[in-house]
Amino acid sequence: MTLPVFQLRRNAFGRLVFQGADGVAHEGVIPVRAFPISEADRGLSLVTSEGRELLWVERLAEVLSAEPANYDGQEVRLSACFGVAMLQTGMSESDVLAAADRDMYRCKQREVARTHR
């Protein structure tokens, strides 16, 4: 699948700004998940604060691998890791966040090992 040309950044206030190929900047865009948390890399929509969809991404890997990223004149490889935790009886919010963090760091460790072979 070919994705349209776009840029996504944060403004000085930390709000996401989407700029499409038409050059129009949309501030305050919201990423919306459309598939279950068990499929963390599937179904992402970027919508305006009014709910109008600007971009649909079937798989996050498409965005990350579409074009080489450039940072300060150097080509860099992009990847993403997600932490997933199931809420269990008796768990506090802190417990759930800690479990999701552990899951995310396991993902990052696997990614580092995979890319440094």
- Residue 40 is predicted with a pLDDT of 67
Beta-strand runs (E) in the chain? 6-10, 16-20, 25-27, 30-33, 42-47, 53-59, 69-71, 74-76
Q: For 14-54, how does the pLDDT look when each residue is reduced to its tens digit (9 = 90+)?
A: 888 989 888 899 999 988 877 766 676 678 888 998 989 99
Report the percentage of the chain scoring pLDDT > 70.
76
Q: 33 near 44, Cβ under 8 Å?
A: yes
Q: Does position 78 have pLDDT exceeding 80, yes or no? A: no
> Any idea where the domains of the chain sit in the sequence?
1-67, 81-117
Rounded to whole angstroms, how far apart are CA atoms 66 and 88? 38
Is pTM, for the whole model, over 0.85?
no
